[in-house]
Structure 1
Amino acid sequence: MDTDLALILGLVIGGLSIPSIMSAISDRRSPRASALTILIACGLLYYATATKPGGYQIDQIPNVFFSVLGRYF
């Protein structure tokens, strides 16, 4: 898997799990599925930052995001 794709998937999955966590907490349920998606997102982010030489900087993320979108769409 490409490190840019792993970074973007990790950010998107992590962002989409936030409403699930909030819903579980407001309904007084344990957020099991949300915790699993957070672990998957953290794993993808770790893989992306650990395998790319030099890592990523915050100002590179929008460029990486749109380059991945341009590549697949």
Structure 2
Amino acid sequence: MATDYLITIGLVVGLFSIPAMLAAYADNRMPRTAMGAFVLSAAVIAMVIILHPARYSVADLPNVVIRVIATIID
């Protein structure tokens, strides 16, 4: 279950870093923080895939995220 949390955190941080990178490029700034968050997100997702290679597929990711959110709310 801990890997479910890690992959959800990685996906959320990666998702939020993309608009931040686009905003930095639009303002002619270097996206240092957003790029760091994106790299950290990719590292966490890679770590989860290395820990449990057969557990997660792309089709299972929405179910994993919903399960983590339901666990947090419950």
State the TM-score, normalizing by the size of structure 2.
Answer: 0.90
Mapped pair 1:48 → 2:58: no
1:71 match: 71
In structure 2, the residue matched to 1:8 is 8
Residue aligned with 2:9, SS? helix
Runs of 4+ displaced beyond 2 Å: none
Per-residue CA distance 1:19-55 (angstroms, 9 max, x = gap): 1101100111111001110111011101111111514
**Structure 2 unaligned runs (5+)?**
none
Corresponding position of 1:36: 36
Q: How far 1:58 moved relative to its partner?
A: 1.0
Q: Which residue does 1:26 correspond to in 2?
A: 26
Counting matched residue pairs gives: 73
Task: Give aligned-pair identity as a percent.
Answer: 29
Where does structure 1 lack aligned partners over 5 or more consecutive residues? none
The amino acid that maps onto 2:12 is V
C-alpha RMSD over aligned residues: 1.4
- Letter matched to residue 66 of structure 2: F
> Secondary structure at the residue paired with 1:13?
helix
